[in-house]
């Protein structure tokens, strides 16, 4: 039980004794630096149930806490703020319980705990992964790891959009212009090769439109009648009819893309437990619609189309089956959600990592599943996120102006190398060691820059700005971790034999660090609840700032006693463990040397 919980229980008891009223919650904030104290109880919210002067109420509660909580040694009241001074011994005793725990803050799931399915990535098989996919993958992976650390079972999955007219566009362009080339014959990753033909389709399509307009066609007519588009539409019909040749080409080109995706996922450091494919799921959900018609959840219009009326819920009417009986995306998503629970009966909730342009879609999906009576529908969440732009502007994949994920990873590695060389950070390292660290720094910079931002906000990503060894960046935190490892290596004594209890007084900077460490378990739980890696990223930055302030103001190896020297090495190591733990959840490596 942490000190805040203990204080809360005694504040409630003290208020009950003094005022004969009950408090539901206690509001806290860090004590302002210009006042003495470690924790501040905010009195003002209590005035809703306690009538009186806030200063007098604070004095009453403060006296009660000093009398009943040994860790609270004194207090002061400033207006409606009760500042509490916590004994050094409390923090020393707490530190002794965590200093060697490399799993501190991590909760192991129980055998009977419900699982959470996290969907992310979910690309189309007509182009490589791009910058937008990078944010999606990093967010989904980090949220999955944070939820896992909070004590739940997690399944990571994606649904691959491997069918439809956009897939056929790449296939037609390859048939017409590819001359049989393959990833092996060109030396290109398969996803890049297929993506080139998606761009080629658009180029030829525009030429054909211009040619038809020149013959007197309207632009609208030309767009519909362009031969290459007509060919792609015919190919889609052949695919749906099971044409052997089309299916064989589709499988071949999709496999090229899957192989390319796997290389990118490996470079990004993300993984998946299961894969779903739209070619397998696009017919799912139709039976559910039939059952829902019978129970009155859906209704049929005169043209035979089926709808769900959500107007009483503040939404609109939603089409779930076309008049010809074919499914729409909503139908597929309903069926896929239900199928996932059938495949994994221990699923208690799902998280969809999808851009904010789909906010309305997921409101509708979740509401329909709720109306269908699925208990797990109460635990469905859309991890909505803003787009990522570069200083040069937006990306358009069909025009070939997309920022390729592989190119971005390579650019980050090169940028990290250039900046490291300029700063002289890696003098004395071998070329192989340098290349490995450049990649660690570059990827760490990319991931941290994206994950430190609240998911709902747009990001303007500047590679050079992200690779900075000062400020709220991945490299700054990585460098601090490496510094801690150097301190640990420098220790010429056994830093495990001295217990923290042999130290009786803390420097204010030591105390500040332990206070940061104490909040780590609750921070993980909150980040999991809020689906926000940004909370974890910024906590780590604040911890590192506190450590660097400690490092600059407190001599580790120049301490007066061996006990103090040992304690400060232990404290440094514990901070390093938490940095490593937090960054592992964010998918970021930390270097032992830097």
* Among 359, 389, 419, residue at a domain's last position: 389
Range of the domain at 474: 405-585
Question: Does residue 437 lie within any of the structural domains?
Answer: yes
How many Å apart are CA 295 and CA 291, to the nearest integer? 6
The β-bridge partners of 41 are 28, 82
Q: What is the pLDDT, as a whole number, of residue 248?
A: 97
Nearest to 351 by CA among 132, 144, 138: 144
Is residue 514 domain-shared with residue 469, that is, in the same domain?
yes
Is residue 446 domain-shared with residue 381, that is, in the same domain?
no
CB count, 10 Å around CB of 470?
8
Question: Does residue 310 lie within any of the structural domains?
Answer: yes
Q: Residue 379 above 60 pLDDT? A: yes
Q: Residue 110 above 90 pLDDT? A: no
Is residue 225 domain-shared with residue 137, that is, in the same domain?
yes
Q: Provide the percentage of residues in the chain whose pLDDT is more than 70.
A: 95
pLDDT in tens, 454-495: 999 998 887 778 887 888 999 999 999 999 999 999 887 665
How many domains would you assign to the chain? Answer: 4
Is residue 213 domain-shared with residue 240, that is, in the same domain?
yes
How many Å apart are CA 106 and CA 524, to the nearest integer? 8
Q: Residue 221 above 90 pLDDT? A: yes
Query: Could you tell me the two tokens for 79?
Result: 């207006």
Instruction: Give me the CATH number covering residue 496.
Output: 1.10.730.10
Please report which confidence band the pLDDT of residue 21 belongs to, taking 50, 70 and 90 as the band edges. very high
pTM of the full predicted structure?
A: 0.91
Question: Does residue 56 lie within any of the structural domains?
Answer: yes
* Among 389, 417, 441, residue at a domain's last position: 389
Is residue 28 domain-shared with residue 121, that is, in the same domain?
no
The answer to whether 85 touches 123, Cβ cutoff 8 Å, is: no
Question: Does residue 594 lie within any of the structural domains?
Answer: no
How many Å apart are CA 63 and CA 394, to the nearest integer? 60
Q: What is the pLDDT, as a whole number, of residue 496?
A: 57
Q: What is the pLDDT, as a whole number, of residue 321?
A: 93
Question: Does residue 101 lie within any of the structural domains?
Answer: no
Q: Residue 397 above 60 pLDDT? A: no
**H-run or E-run covering 319:** strand 317-321
Q: What is the pLDDT, as a whole number, of residue 400?
A: 43
pLDDT in tens, 356-367: 999 999 999 999
Q: What is the pLDDT, as a whole number, of residue 399?
A: 43
CA–centroid distance for 290 within its chain: 37
Question: Does residue 399 lie within any of the structural domains?
Answer: no
Question: Does residue 107 lie within any of the structural domains?
Answer: no
Rounded to the nearest 10 degrees, the angle between the axes of helix 562-585 and helix 88-98 is: 60
Q: What is the pLDDT, as a whole number, of residue 463?
A: 76
Is residue 321 domain-shared with residue 339, that is, in the same domain?
no
Is residue 436 domain-shared with residue 359, that is, in the same domain?
no
Q: What is the pLDDT, as a whole number, of residue 420?
A: 77
Q: Residue 227 above 60 pLDDT? A: yes
Please report which confidence band the pLDDT of residue 327 belongs to, taking 50, 70 and 90 as the band edges. confident
Is residue 384 domain-shared with residue 487, that is, in the same domain?
no
The answer to whether 102 touches 577, Cβ cutoff 8 Å, is: yes
Q: What is the pLDDT, as a whole number, of residue 470?
A: 84
The mean pLDDT of 229-237, rounded to a whole number, is 95
Nearest to 351 by CA among 150, 519, 162, 191: 150
Is residue 82 domain-shared with residue 150, that is, in the same domain?
no
Read off φ and ψ for residue 354, nearest 5 degrees. Answer: -145, 145
Q: Provide the percentage of residues in the chain whose pLDDT is more than 90.
A: 79
- pLDDT higher at 77 or 462: 77
Instruction: Give me the CATH number covering residue 270.
Output: 3.40.50.620
Is residue 189 domain-shared with residue 251, that is, in the same domain?
yes
Is residue 480 domain-shared with residue 521, that is, in the same domain?
yes
Mean pLDDT score of the chain, rounded to an integer?
92
Q: What is the pLDDT, as a whole number, of residue 392?
A: 64
Is residue 554 domain-shared with residue 523, that is, in the same domain?
yes
The mean pLDDT of 65-90, rounded to a whole number, is 96
Rg from Cα positions in the chain: 29
Q: What is the pLDDT, as a whole number, of residue 396?
A: 43
Q: What is the pLDDT, as a whole number, of residue 394?
A: 46
Question: Does residue 299 lie within any of the structural domains?
Answer: yes
Q: What is the pLDDT, as a whole number, of residue 398?
A: 42
Q: Residue 293 above 50 pLDDT? A: yes
Please report which confidence band the pLDDT of residue 388 belongs to, taking 50, 70 and 90 as the band edges. confident
**236-240 contact pairs (CB < 8 A, 24+):** 236/164, 236/165, 236/168, 239/163, 239/168
The mean pLDDT of 557-584, rounded to a whole number, is 94
């Amino acid at each position: 039980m942490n000190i805040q919980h203990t204080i809360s229980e005694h504040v409630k008891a003290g208020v009950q004794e003094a005022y004969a009223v009950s408090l539901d919650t206690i509001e806290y904030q860090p004590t302002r630096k210009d006042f003495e104290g470690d924790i501040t109880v905010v009195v003002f919210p209590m005035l809703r149930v306690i009538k009186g002067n806030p200063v007098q109420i604070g004095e009453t509660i403060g006296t009660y806490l000093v009398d009943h909580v040994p860790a609270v040694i004194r207090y002061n009241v400033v207006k409606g703020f009760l500042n509490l001074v916590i004994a050094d011994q409390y923090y020393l005793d707490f530190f002794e319980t965590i200093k060697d725990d490399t799993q501190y803050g991590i909760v192991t799931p129980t055998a009977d705990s419900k699982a959470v399915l996290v969907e992310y990535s979910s690309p189309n098989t007509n182009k490589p992964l791009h910058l937008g996919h990078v944010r999606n993958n990093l967010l989904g992976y980090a949220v999955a790891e944070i939820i896992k650390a909070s004590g739940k079972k997690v399944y990571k999955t994606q649904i691959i959009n491997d069918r439809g007219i956009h897939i056929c566009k790449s296939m037609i362009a390859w048939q017409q212009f590819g001359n049989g080339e393959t990833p092996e014959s060109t030396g290109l990753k398969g996803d890049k090769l297929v993506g080139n033909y998606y761009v080629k389709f658009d180029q030829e399509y525009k030429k054909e439109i211009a040619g038809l307009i020149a013959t007197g066609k309207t632009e609208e007519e030309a767009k519909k009648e362009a031969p290459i588009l007509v060919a792609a539409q015919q190919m889609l019909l052949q695919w749906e009819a099971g044409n052997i040749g089309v299916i064989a080409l589709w499988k071949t080109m999709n496999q090229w893309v899957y192989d390319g995706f796997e290389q990118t996922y490996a470079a990004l450091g993300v993984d998946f437990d299961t894969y779903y494919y739209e070619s397998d799921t696009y017919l799912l959900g139709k039976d559910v619609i039939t059952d829902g018609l019978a129970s009155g959840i859906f209704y049929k219009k005169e043209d035979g189309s089926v709808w769900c009326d959500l107007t009483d819920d503040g939404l609109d009417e939603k089409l779930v089956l076309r008049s010809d009986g074919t499914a729409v995306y909503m139908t597929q998503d309903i069926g896929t959600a239900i199928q996932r629970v059938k495949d994994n009966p221990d699923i208690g909730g799902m998280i969809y990592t999808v851009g904010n342009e789909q906010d309305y879609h997921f409101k509708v999906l979740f509401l329909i599943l709720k109306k269908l009576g699925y208990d797990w529908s109460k635990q469905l969440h859309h991890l909505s996120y803003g787009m990522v732009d570069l200083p040069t502007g937006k990306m358009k994949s069909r025009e070939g102006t997309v920022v390729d994920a592989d190119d971005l990873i390579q650019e980050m590695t090169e940028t990290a190398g250039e900046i490291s060389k300029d700063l002289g950070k890696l003098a004395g390292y071998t070329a192989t060691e340098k290349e490995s660290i450049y990649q660690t720094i570059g990827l760490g910079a990319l991931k941290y820059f994206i994950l430190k931002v609240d998911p709902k906000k747009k990001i303007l990503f500047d590679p050079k700005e992200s690779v900075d060894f000062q400020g709220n960046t991945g490299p700054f935190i990585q460098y601090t971790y490496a510094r801690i490892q150097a301190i640990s290596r420098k220790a010429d004594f056994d830093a495990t034999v001295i217990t923290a209890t042999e130290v009786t007084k803390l420097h204010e900077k030591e105390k500040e660090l332990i206070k940061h460490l104490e909040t780590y378990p609750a921070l993980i739980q909150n980040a999991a609840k809020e689906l926000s890696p940004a909370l974890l990223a910024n906590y780590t930055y604040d911890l590192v700032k506190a450590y660097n302030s400690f490092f600059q103001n407190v001599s580790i190896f120049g301490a007066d006693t061996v006990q103090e020297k040992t304690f400060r090495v232990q404290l440094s190591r514990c901070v390093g463990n938490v940095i490593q733990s937090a960054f592992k959840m964010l998918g970021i490596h930390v270097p032992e040397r830097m």
